[in-house]
């Protein structure tokens, strides 16, 4: 069964640095999402992406965040200048309809 994949599995970065988290959604999917989970807390929606544009974003998704689907297969989340509070698990998800069901294994981001 096809799966959503994410790289890297763990990223350590210094405060103020830019990071790019990568996701490869399932190939026939049309809707793409990023979520994050701060340690010990619930999973929070960040952004949804459809038809090559952002369809919805949360308050967390401020100007420091951006998403891109650069080549028709990858889906990336960029954080321009990381803060300590960006440390979290970041999950990519995709689906062929707008009901999210397929999550990737996550990237653990640690900002020091």
Which of these segments, 11-19, 22-30, 54-62, 67-75, binds another protein (CB under 8 A)?
54-62
- The three-class DSSP label of residue 112 is coil
Among 56, 73, 81, 83, binds another protein (CB under 8 A): 56
Cα–Cα distance list, 104 to 11, 62, 96, 101, 107 (Å): 16, 23, 15, 10, 9
Q: Quick check: bond before 60 cis, omega within 30?
A: no
User: Please, which of residues 89-108 interact with another protein by CB under 8 A?
Assistant: 89, 91, 98-106, 108
Among 19, 21, 25, 33, binds another protein (CB under 8 A): 33
Which residues is 89 bridged to in the sheet?
37, 108
Interacting residue ranges for another protein, rule: CB under 8 A: 31, 33, 35, 41-45, 48, 55-56, 58, 89, 91, 98-106, 108
């Amino acid at each position: 069964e096809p799966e959503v994949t994410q790289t890297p599995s763990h990223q350590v970065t210094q405060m103020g640095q830019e990071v790019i988290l990568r996701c490869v959604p399932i190939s026939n999917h049309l809707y793409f999402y990023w979520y994050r989970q701060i340690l010990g807390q619930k999973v929070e929606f960040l952004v949804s992406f459809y038809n090559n544009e952002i369809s919805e974003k949360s308050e967390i998704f401020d100007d420091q965040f951006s998403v891109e689907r650069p080549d028709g297969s990858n889906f990336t989340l960029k954080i321009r200048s990381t803060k300590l509070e960006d440390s979290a698990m970041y999950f990519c998800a995709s689906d062929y309809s707008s009901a999210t069901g397929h999550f990737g294994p996550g990237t653990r981001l640690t900002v020091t």
